[in-house]
């Protein structure tokens, strides 16, 4: 649906050129919810605005629905943009227009007649849950409701793609959840491709199918959300995930590991001890993996710390265990875990 090829974006800042995007290649499939996450200044807004050419990239191709938008003339571009709706962090509603008239604005601008507008906008306000507030003004509704108007307005031209630029950043957690649920609903019911940018992993976790991590104008990691959560590769990804799934073990756990290691040296001198972080998802979450290891490899396992969570309908979890036994058996146990789809990371700490 969307193909970004070799995108760079250089701004002329007061202190010289700023390279906001440094070579982005990205493919977004039709019908998916694709999240782009990064810290402040990473280039998220620049990137999402390239997709509808609100920002014309310095170099590269922006292919949406098979057409390279950078090659279109103004009239063709206006036409192409109708297929790409956008919602904004600060809603961008017109205060002098009612909820209905805000949602209807793109249709008025396109010259649609009044009756057709009513026919189009009324069900949209139903869809976003605002039919009863159609005559209110922006100052008379809540932030979450304003964003619902923003979503209705974005959907008015029946786009194929919906871009969301930090659409929930100004909202409290509960309202955020309800707006993300609405985005998920329009994705499913209308078959819309949704691209959302955010600085919060919680947003990615709740709605995205796939995620790309952007850092200093480059995509440094991407994949299925579940895979990225369970096997983050880059430090930046780990630190973003840390917000909802702490990556560091608590000090008390590390102290306990030190104690176990010292005990092992006196009680079983030939044995080795390893602190392992195990991450698992989907099917492997339901297998009795640990008891199997103890039985088949004769290793001892102490469970030190653990979390289980859900991404959309899939379970994933993370466990910290202290495994001890003969070095060969330990190695066999780790291989067995990996073969069973569990990501195993050995953590070394100072004893
Ligand atoms: N119009 C502009 N002129 C000059 N520099 C800009 C302009 N817009 C953005 N930048 C710079 O480009 C870089 C990327 O900015 P961008 O807004 O895309 O990042 P972001 O990830 O969306 O950040 P935030 O989450 O803080 O909005 C930053 O260094 C920013 O200062």
Do 189 and 265 lie in one domain? The reply is: no
Phi-psi bin for 292: left (phi > 0), alpha (psi -120 to 50), beta? Answer: alpha
Q: Is the pLDDT of residue 286 over 80?
A: no
- pLDDT of 106 reads 95
Do 257 and 237 lie in one domain? The reply is: no
- pLDDT of 177 reads 93
What beta strand segments (E) does the chain contain? Answer: 2-13, 16-28, 33-37, 59-64, 67-68, 84-88, 161-165, 193-198, 210-215, 218-224, 272-281, 300-311, 314-325, 343-347
Residue ending a domain, choose from 242, 265, 296: 242
Do 25 and 43 lie in one domain? The reply is: yes
Dihedral sign, Cα of residue 186, residue 167, residue 90, residue 77: negative
Do 214 and 261 lie in one domain? The reply is: no
- pLDDT of 132 reads 97
Which of 35, 45, 90, 214, when mutated, tests ligand 1's pocket best, judged by the most ligand atoms within 8 Å of its CB?
45
Do 290 and 211 lie in one domain? The reply is: no
Do 175 and 256 lie in one domain? The reply is: no
Do 327 and 214 lie in one domain? The reply is: no
CA 237 to ligand 1 centroid distance, Å: 20
Q: Whose CA is nearest to atom 1 of ligand 1?
A: 11
Do 290 and 147 lie in one domain? The reply is: no
Ranking 31-35, 39-43, 217-221, 342-346 by mean pLDDT, the lowest is 342-346
Residue ending a domain, choose from 180, 208, 242: 242
Q: Whose CA is nearest to atom 17 of ligand 1?
A: 45
Which of 8, 11, 37, 167, when mutated, tests ligand 1's pocket best, judged by the most ligand atoms within 8 Å of its CB?
11
Which of 12, 17, 42, when mutated, tests ligand 1's pocket best, judged by the most ligand atoms within 8 Å of its CB?
42
Q: Is the pLDDT of residue 115 over 90?
A: yes
Distance CA 310, CA 226 (A): 9
CA 13 to ligand 1 centroid distance, Å: 10
Q: Whose CA is nearest to atom 11 of ligand 1?
A: 20
Dihedral sign, Cα of residue 290, residue 296, residue 297, residue 302: positive
Do 106 and 153 lie in one domain? The reply is: yes
Q: Which ligand 1 atom sits closest to the C-alpha of 47?
A: 18
Can you give the CATH number for the domain in which 198 is found?
3.40.50.300
pLDDT band at 283 (very low <50, low <70, confident <90, very high): low
- Non-local (6+) Cβ contacts of 323 within 8 A are 273, 274, 276, 293, 299, 300, 301, 330, 333, 334
Can you give the CATH number for the domain in which 321 is found?
3.30.70.260
Do 266 and 136 lie in one domain? The reply is: no
Do 162 and 18 lie in one domain? The reply is: yes
CA 197 to ligand 1 centroid distance, Å: 13
Pocket of ligand 1 (CB under 6 A): 11, 13, 18, 20, 38, 40-46, 199
Contact assessment for residue 61 and residue 6, using Cβ atoms and an 8 Å cutoff? yes
Question: Is the confidence metric ipTM above 0.85 for this complex?
Answer: yes
pLDDT band at 247 (very low <50, low <70, confident <90, very high): confident
**27-51 per-position pLDDT tens digit:** 999 999 999 999 999 999 999 999 9
Q: Residue 15: give the domain boundaries.
A: 2-242
Give the mean model confidence (pLDDT) for residues 190-207: 94
Number of folded domains in the chain?
A: 2
Q: Which ligand 1 atom sits closest to the C-alpha of 49?
A: 18
> Which phi and psi (to 5°) does residue 342 adopt?
-95, 130
Residue ending a domain, choose from 242, 262, 281: 242
CA 11 to ligand 1 centroid distance, Å: 9
Do 223 and 284 lie in one domain? The reply is: no
């Amino acid at each position: 649906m969307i193909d970004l090829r070799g995108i760079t974006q250089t701004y002329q800042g007061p202190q010289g050129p700023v390279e906001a995007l440094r070579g982005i290649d990205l493919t977004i499939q039709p019908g998916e919810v694709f999240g782009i996450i990064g810290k402040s200044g990473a280039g998220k807004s620049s990137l999402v605005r390239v997709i509808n050419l609100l920002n014309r990239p310095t170099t590269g191709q922006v292919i949406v629905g098979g057409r390279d938008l950078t090659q279109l003339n103004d009239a063709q571009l206006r036409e192409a943009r109708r297929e790409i709706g956008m919602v904004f962090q600060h809603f961008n509603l017109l205060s002098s227009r009612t909820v209905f008239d805000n949602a209807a604005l793109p249709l008025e601008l396109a010259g649609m007649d009044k009756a057709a507008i009513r026919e189009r906008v009324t069900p949209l306000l139903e869809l976003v849950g605002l039919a009863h507030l159609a005559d209110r003004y922006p100052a008379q509704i809540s932030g979450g409701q304003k964003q619902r108007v923003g979503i209705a307005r974005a959907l008015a031209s029946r786009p194929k793609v919906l871009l969301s630029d930090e659409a929930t950043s100004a909202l409290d957690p509960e309202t955020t959840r309800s707006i993300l649920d609405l985005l998920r609903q329009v994705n499913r019911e209308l078959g819309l491709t949704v691209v959302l940018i955010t600085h919060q992993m919680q947003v990615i976790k709740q709605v995205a199918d796939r995620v790309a991590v952007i850092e200093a104008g480059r995509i440094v990691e991407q994949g299925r959300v579940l895979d990225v959560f369970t096997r983050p590769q880059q430090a930046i990804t780990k630190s973003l995930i840390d917000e909802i799934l702490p990556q560091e073990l608590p000090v008390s756990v590390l102290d306990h590991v030190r104690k176990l290691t010292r005990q092992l040296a006196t009680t079983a001198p030939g044995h080795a001890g390893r602190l392992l972080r195990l991450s698992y998802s989907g099917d492997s979450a339901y297998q009795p993996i640990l008891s199997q290891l103890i039985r088949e490899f004769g290793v001892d396992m102490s469970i030190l710390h653990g979390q289980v969570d859900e991404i959309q309908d899939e379970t994933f979890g993370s466990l910290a265990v202290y495994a001890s036994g003969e070095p060969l058996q330990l190695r066999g146990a780790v291989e067995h875990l990996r073969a069973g789809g569990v990501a195993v990371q050995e953590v070394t700490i100072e004893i």
